[in-house]
Amino acid sequence: MKHLRALQIFGVITSIGAYFMLLMGAIVSATESGKGCGNTWPFCHGQLIPSSLPVETVIEYGHRIVSGLDGLLILVLAVWSWMTFKDDRRVRILGFLSLFFVVFQGILGALTVVFEGPFSKQFSLALHFGFSLISFASVILLTVYLFQIPGNKLDRPVLGRRQKRLAKWIWGLAAYTYVVVYTGALVRHAEATMGCGYSFPFCGSVYLPDLSSLAGIHLLHRYFAFVLFFLVVGLFIFIWRKYRDRKDLVQGGLLALILIGLQAASGALVVWTGGKLILELIHTTIISGFFAVLSYMCMQIGFPWRKKTHFSKQSLKMGYSK
Active site (catalytic) residues: 60
- Would you give the distance in Å from CA 207 to the centre of its chain? 30
Q: How long is the chain?
A: 322
| Buried-state track 20-53, b at ≥16 Cβ within 10 A, e below 16 | ebbbbbbbbbbeebbebbbeebeebeeeeebeee
Cβ-count burial of 178 within 10 angstroms (0-12 exposed, 13-18 middle, 19+ buried)? middle
For residue 47, what are the β-bridge partners?
Answer: 44
**φ, ψ for residue 47 (rounded to 5)?**
-120, 145
Q: Please give the Cα distance from 216 to 2 (Å, whole number).
A: 55
Q: Using CA of residue 23, residue 24, residue 25, residue 27, what is the dihedral sign?
A: positive
Question: How close are the terminal C-alpha atoms of the chain, in Å?
Answer: 17
The CA–CA distances, whole Å, from 14 to 59, 77, 147, 227 equal: 21, 8, 14, 33
- For 313, half-sphere exposure in the C-beta direction (CA atoms, 13 angstrom radius) is 2
